[in-house]
Chain A
Amino acid sequence: MKKYKNRRREKLNIPALIFISIILLLVFGLLYFLQANIFPLIPINGIVPNLFVIFILVIGLFGNNFLAILFGIISGIFIDLSYSEVIGITPAMLCLVGFIATWFDSLWSKDERISIIIMVILSTFIFEFGSYFLKSLILDFEIESGVFFKILAIEELYNVLLTIIFFGVIKKFGYMMERKLKRSNMYSVEL
């Protein structure tokens, strides 16, 4: 599972990034629709999955740091503006997930189902625990660790089941994004 990678410094290719960004914006719109309207109708014991964590993780794994952080900020701010009274926690935590995803990419293979599942579990934990902890500090409320971990366990299970089901789609989409970015970098690599 361990992966050795010889990374090269790559320049950003603006046209390819714009193209990928438009596609990612459309995907974000679709995921937002599913998260806000469909999954509340089919929860597991009242708990819904977190599609945004998987979304940013995939961008970090198959895309690059820049895209993961950009979309972490865009989607996080959008979510906070829509629902939260504190703006900044969700973008910060999604950026962290994106950053960690690129680190995961250098550690594990993204071709194996099991390694993607482990990454989803870790990312969901980091995102939810970090968000809840920061929120409790800023809004000054008591942490209910027992209930929190109970909810988190079900959310993790839901995220893992979705990852297993959509593993093929995730991989295809991810490699499409990776190919597009690499092809465009053929002419702009600093050797």
Chain B
Amino acid sequence: MGENRHIGILGTIITIVILILLILLTNVDTSKMSYLKSLGDKISRPFQTGFTNLKNKVTGNDTFFSTMSELKEENKKLKKENQELSENLREYEVIKAENESLKEKMNLTEKYAAYDTISADVINKDISNYGSNLVLNVGTKDGIEEKMTVISDQGLVGYIVKANKETSTVKVITDPASSVSCNISTTNESVLCKGTLENNQTLRVTYIPMDADLIVGDSVETSGVGQIYAKGIHIGIIKEIITTTNSTDRYAIVETAVDFSKLSTVLVITNK
């Protein structure tokens, strides 16, 4: 009985370790693993310092230590100064973040001056792994209605699918159930951009006319067809063109202009 209990606890601990490792390995950017180096430095530093001091003693190169008390005093003073500066820096960072948020809202309104817009903050994101809807902090009491276009500083975000009194839900263009009628800006060809489950930063371009000449880097924008999205809103650029043996099946991948993982402020277009 006691042995089983121990095995159970051990199993739980091992599972927790596995879970933590999985989360770390799939989320940490390996190029930014400088903390491992600093950890190594922390471990080796005492030994290294000890060896250097010993070497200095032996070689008579230890005159530095005569001024140790002065150094300690100076170190104390510098530490105090450093603390004050850190506090100032924290205050500065808070003000900077506030300033950036206000600036972002201001830029957005100026950029889309032709439209009547309402500024909104993203307050929640879809909890499911199979959808990417967003929740905004504005609702019908602010003049939000269903099928209104939502944009950000970089381009198209989606449209309002549900408006409650205080909040509203946005169907994002990368959602698997979303499709947007678009134009390729250089050739003016009409295509359809669909969201996919695979990646929330890309769209799949389908219904490409057989004679259409697409080039990687072409800009894609809304065509205005479909009565939902206003015309001429930037969506993204063509990242890749996939040609198949059957030319009618070829498709392209569009990288969205909006970085949905960092999206925090949007504008809802209230007129078209």
Contacts and interface: CB of A to CB of B under 8 A. Distances in A.
Interface of A: 35-36, 40, 42-48, 50, 79, 81-85, 113, 128, 131-132, 135-136, 139-142, 144, 147-148, 151, 155, 157-158, 161-162, 164-165, 167-168
A10 B23 CA distance: 45
Nearest to B13: A165
A128 B130 contact: yes
A154 B178 CA distance: 24
B231 to A, nearest CB: 24
Given A43-B23, A85-B161, A151 B11 contact: no
Contacts of B11: 113, 164
A161 B18 contact: yes
Interface stretch (B65-73, B85-93, B121-129): B121-129
Nearest to B176: A141
A165 B135 contact: no
Given A85-B133, A132-B130, A165-B15, A147 B197 contact: yes
Contact of A48 (B8, B127, B169): B127
Interface string B16-41: 10110011001100000000000000
Given A36-B124, A147-B197, 11 more contacts: A35-B127, A42-B27, A48-B127, A85-B133, A135-B177, A140-B177, A144-B176, A144-B197, A148-B130, A165-B15, A168-B8
B137 to A, nearest CB: 13
A127 to B, nearest CB: 11
Contact of A165 (B12, B130, B176): B12
In the A-B complex, list the 8 residue pairs whose CB atoms are closest, starting with the nearest: A85-B161, A139-B177, A45-B26, A147-B197, A164-B15, A141-B177, A161-B19, A144-B197
Nearest to A135: B177
A157 B169 CA distance: 30
A48 B176 contact: no
A157 B22 CA distance: 10
B27 A84 contact: no
Contact of B129 (A48, A140, A144): A48
Interface residues of B, number: 33
Interface string B98-127: 000000000000000000000000001111
Interface in B116-169: 124-131, 133, 135, 161-162, 164, 169
Contact of A151 (B15, B18, B127, B129): B129
Nearest to B146: A85
A43 B128 CA distance: 12
Nearest to B124: A36
A84 B129 CA distance: 13
Contacts of A45: 26
A53 to B, nearest CB: 11
Contacts of A151: 129-130, 197
B171 interface: yes
Nearest to A140: B177
Contacts of A81: 164
A164 B14 CA distance: 10
Nearest to B162: A85
Contacts of B26: 43-46
B202 interface: no
A49 B207 CA distance: 35
Contacts of A141: 176-177, 179, 194
A82 B167 CA distance: 9
29 contacts: A36-B124, A36-B127, A40-B127, A42-B27, A43-B27, A44-B22, A82-B124, A82-B135, A83-B128, A84-B169, A113-B8, A113-B11, A128-B130, A131-B128, A136-B177, A141-B176, A142-B194, A147-B196, A151-B130, A155-B129, A157-B22, A158-B19, A161-B15, A161-B22, A162-B19, A164-B11, A164-B12, A168-B8, A168-B12
